[in-house]
């Protein structure tokens, strides 16, 4: 995924189906975000539980053990400061 210039939103969650993208096939599918900057946001689902781990210069995002995104050349601190959660939490 490449956002290009300006502030971008990278959607890792489909609010219409309330499902995360890239969470079905383990580490075989994931979003590869190559140009994340401090202007950008990553959109996640409020019903999901994510973990973030540094991998070299990159940040990996997981749901459970399932890799859903690699954010290239971005620290976990930067990524976690730029999250936006969508969707409703079940009652």
By beta-carbon proximity to Ca ion, the closer residue of 70 and 86 is: 70
In angstroms, give the least distance from the CB of 75 to Ca ion. Answer: 22
CA distance 10 to 81: 14
Shortest separation between residue 88's beta carbon and Ca ion, angstroms: 24
Pick 60 or 74: Cβ nearer Ca ion: 60
Q: What is the CA radius of gyration of the chain?
A: 12
CA distance linking residue 11 with residue 39, whole number of Å: 15
Strands 41-45 and 83-86: parallel
Binding residue for Ca ion, selected from 11, 66, 76, 83, defined by CB under 5 A: 66
Which residues are paired to 63 by β-bridges? 50, 66
Site for Ca ion in 6-65 (CB under 5 A): 22, 29-30
| Number of residues forming the site for Ca ion (CB under 5 A) | 5
Q: Contact positions toward Ca ion, by CB under 5 A?
A: 22, 29-30, 66-67
């Amino acid at each position: 995924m490449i956002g290009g210039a300006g502030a971008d939103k990278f959607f890792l969650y489909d609010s219409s189906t309330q499902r995360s993208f890239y969470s079905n096939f383990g580490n075989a599918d994931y979003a590869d975000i190559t140009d994340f900057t401090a202007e950008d946001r990553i959109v996640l689902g409020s019903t999901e539980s994510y973990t973030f781990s540094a991998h070299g210069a990159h940040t990996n995002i997981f749901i459970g053990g399932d890799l859903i995104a690699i954010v290239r050349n971005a620290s976990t601190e930067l990524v976690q400061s730029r999250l936006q959660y969508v969707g409703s939490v079940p009652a």
